[in-house]
Amino acid sequence: MSSLRLWISLGILVLLLTACSTQYPETCPSSTPVGLTNANEIASDDSLLFRFPLDESPIDDNLYFGWFGVSNECTPDIVECYEFPERKFHAAEDYKRPAGTPVYAMADGIISYSGRAGGYGWLILIDHPQANLYSLYGHLSPSRWKLKAGTDVERGDLIAYLGDADENGGSKEQPLVPHLHFGIRAGQIADYPSRGEWRYMGGWIKLCPQNVGWLQPSVIITSQEIPAGGYPQPKVGFLTRLGFDLFIASLYTVGGAVFIVANRKKTRFLLLIPGLVAVVAGIIFNHRGVTRSNILPVIGILILAVGIYYSIQRPTPKPQNRS
């Protein structure tokens, strides 16, 4: 009996460990920005669809924390290391410029968000329905002039200025080097949830940015192209809208609780439930391209096998005491 408890405890431990370690990819493809040597030329040509959001080109000296798709870990790919407690990928390109630098709309559109937002200081999002894109401008100045949400903009309209180091998401104690965090994504902000790794204002995310609709900004701008029907956006699943992390955490909690109850009450057929949970979670993880998720269905099948074994086993008759 005690060895069974040991196995069950080990099972729960393994489930919890896989929950922590297998949810997100370890690496993503990352790319340096395409050199926009003719940014001013592009900006002044009104026949073009897109322009760079700053007056100058993003030459190498002006790159900051992250290229598109890099992780926050210190690797030779990153201009400056920027460490978070957990691995995340950069869904944009960063351009270092002085505070007060004007920032312009990259294309015609409507401002769908303009407000304070966490580590961004002031954030502006612009929907570009003609291309099925939206653009993201982070670390703007809350104290300087800026456009309000709902404003129609044309390509090249001034929308805001870069913020000072203590108002752009940084503080007096922890100033943040003034820079523009510039993102472009397929779809409109209404297509995405407001929370989680798919959130419409995502900057550093745990999923590969290119897998959730983020595009490399300098590539889109230099291409000056809109595919027929606009840029195709990834399908945002029901689980994502619900809050994928929350859902998976609930699955594990329920699975763990059933494990304990099944063991306590000696109703081990209940093990079928956590077994199924592990199999389903494994299939979902696999479907989402999560590394090392193959182990989950295997664990699930093992638990199922134990559950089935106990379900079909007849109760052992108690030995009769003969006096």
Contact 165, 212 (CB under 8 A): no
Half-sphere exposure of residue 45, counting CA atoms within 13 Å on the CB side?
Answer: 13
Q: How far is the CB of 51 from Zn ion (least distance, A)?
A: 20
Q: Which stretch binds Zn ion (CB under 5 A): 88-96, 193-201, 250-258, 310-318?
A: 88-96
- Of 68 and 259, nearer to Zn ion (C-beta) is 68
CA 42, CA 56: separation in Å to the nearest integer? Answer: 11
- Of 92 and 279, nearer to Zn ion (C-beta) is 92
Contact 119, 168 (CB under 8 A): no
- Of 47 and 174, nearer to Zn ion (C-beta) is 174
Pattern 143-172, binding to Zn ion, x per CB under 5 A?
------------------------------
Q: How far is the CB of 91 from Zn ion (least distance, A)?
A: 8
Helices (H), 36-189: 39-44
Q: How far is the CB of 71 from Zn ion (least distance, A)?
A: 13
Contact 19, 249 (CB under 8 A): yes
Q: How far is the CB of 6 from Zn ion (least distance, A)?
A: 48
Angstrom CA distances, 281 to 13, 126, 237, stand at 16, 36, 15
- Of 32 and 40, nearer to Zn ion (C-beta) is 32
Q: Which stretch binds Zn ion (CB under 5 A): 42-50, 176-184, 209-217, 261-269?
A: 176-184
**Cα 314 from chain centroid (whole Å):** 49
Q: Which stretch binds Zn ion (CB under 5 A): 76-84, 142-150, 179-187, 306-314?
A: 179-187
**Footprint (CB under 5 A) of Zn ion, residues 65-84:** none
- Of 51 and 139, nearer to Zn ion (C-beta) is 139
CA 57, CA 61: separation in Å to the nearest integer? Answer: 10
CA 208, CA 289: separation in Å to the nearest integer? Answer: 10
- Of 22 and 101, nearer to Zn ion (C-beta) is 101
Q: Of the candidates 94, 167, 191, 197, which one interacts with Zn ion according to CB under 5 A?
A: 94
- Of 51 and 181, nearer to Zn ion (C-beta) is 181
CA 187, CA 189: separation in Å to the nearest integer? Answer: 7
If we measure between CA atoms, which residue out of 44, 143, 43, 137 comes closest to residue 100?
A: 143
CB atoms under 10 Å from CB of 231, counted, come to 19
Find the residue with minimal CB distance to Zn ion.
181
Using the rule CB under 5 A, is 181 a contact of Zn ion?
yes
The residue ranges that bind Zn ion (CB under 5 A) are: 94, 181
